[in-house]
Amino acid sequence: MPSRLSRFVVLVGALAFAPLCIDGANAQNQSGQDYPSRLIKIIVPFPPGGNPDLAARLVAERMSAAFRQPVIIENRAGANGALGASAVAKAEPDGYTLLVTSLGVLAINPAIYDQLSYNPKTDFAPVGRLAISPLLLIAGPSGPIDSVQTLFAAAKKEPGKLTYSSSGVGSAAHMAAVLFNQVTETEMLHVTFRGTADATTAVASGNISVAFGGQGVSWPLVEAGKARALALTGAKRSPTHPQTPTVAEAGIAGYEMTDWVGMLAPAGTAQPIVDKLNAEITKALTDPALVQKFVLQGLDPAVTTPVEFSAFMVAEQQRWSAVAKKANIRVQP
């Protein structure tokens, strides 16, 4: 039977060894060697069906196969994306809770909200951009607005008469229209709806003049004859709808706007984990089969390094801050 002394020696030895085990585990976590070893959760701060959700689901499938671990999507909508973004900002920085979100959450919200429950500049570790997506400017299926030029003429002739819809103040659709007003020196009235689908359907029903809608919900309306496609807001035409011009090609020089989607981790996530995630999304988004799926959804794969994505976000924050300031758009808490 062990003596009290021998039991004491064993106990002291175990206690002395414990910090070494903890330090070793921390070092392994920081190196990312064992990452991932369990389920990864991607939070999308919007309802299903939008660009961030579509991109997240397509990429998550490839990540799961590559990592041999489950990768699930959790749609945590609310407060113009702030609810989901805040959850990730407060999550453990271990690479198992990620954020896939868009322009509005990371560049527009900080420009228009007096208070936010997250700080896009300090609360996240950028992993990489996933895609860019021009919006589609649509009008009703009948009526005088059948081109960008007729829209411009009508808006110029009767300021404040035409309306445009969006899913809310600070949404990409809202800011695309604000930018159009500024570039053309016109005035259209903003009408908000509960979601992107409702905002675009209001145009099809004739209740709203125009909308700058996401391609995923707008093209089906156009193809069903329920709306007219006037132009795309980006720098180039869509490979799936090459007949539709850009806003600039249609006569509004200097106009360009694209929504975008990116992946982020909580601030403090070890760089090797961030780099491993970036490598996997880069592999996924350079796979021709996945590229085709993105293109069919109106998404243009546009991966970056973490450093490039960080610089891109800073530039977008500066751009939309200037647009919001000029239009005097502020949202009180």
Per-residue pLDDT of the chain (333 residues; tens, 9 = 90+): 455 544 444 444 444 555 555 455 455 556 678 999 999 999 999 888 888 999 999 999 999 999 999 999 999 998 889 999 999 999 999 999 999 999 999 999 999 998 999 999 999 999 999 999 999 999 999 989 999 999 999 999 999 999 999 988 998 999 999 999 999 999 999 999 988 889 999 999 999 999 999 998 899 999 999 999 999 999 999 999 999 999 999 999 999 999 999 999 999 999 999 999 999 999 999 999 999 999 988 899 999 999 999 999 999 999 999 999 999 999 876
Whether 193 and 239 have beta carbons less than 8 Å apart is answered as: no
The CATH number assigned to the domain holding 80 equals 3.40.190.150
Residues 278 and 205 occupy one common structural domain: no
Residue 297 is assigned to a structural domain of this protein: yes
Nearest CA to 254 out of 183, 158, 182, 179 is that of 183
Residue 249 is assigned to a structural domain of this protein: no
Question: pTM score, two decimals?
Answer: 0.86
Residue range of the domain that includes 218: 136-232
Residues 142 and 216 occupy one common structural domain: yes
Residue 245 is assigned to a structural domain of this protein: no
Residue 141 is assigned to a structural domain of this protein: yes
Nearest CA to 284 out of 35, 55, 53, 62 is that of 62
Residue 246 is assigned to a structural domain of this protein: no
Using CB atoms within 10 A of its CB, is residue 94 exposed (0-12), middle (13-18) or buried (19+)?
Answer: middle
Residue 244 is assigned to a structural domain of this protein: no
Residue 110 is assigned to a structural domain of this protein: yes
Residue 18 is assigned to a structural domain of this protein: no
Nearest CA to 301 out of 52, 107, 133 is that of 133
Number of domains in the chain: 2
The CATH number assigned to the domain holding 208 equals 3.40.190.10
Residues 277 and 197 occupy one common structural domain: no
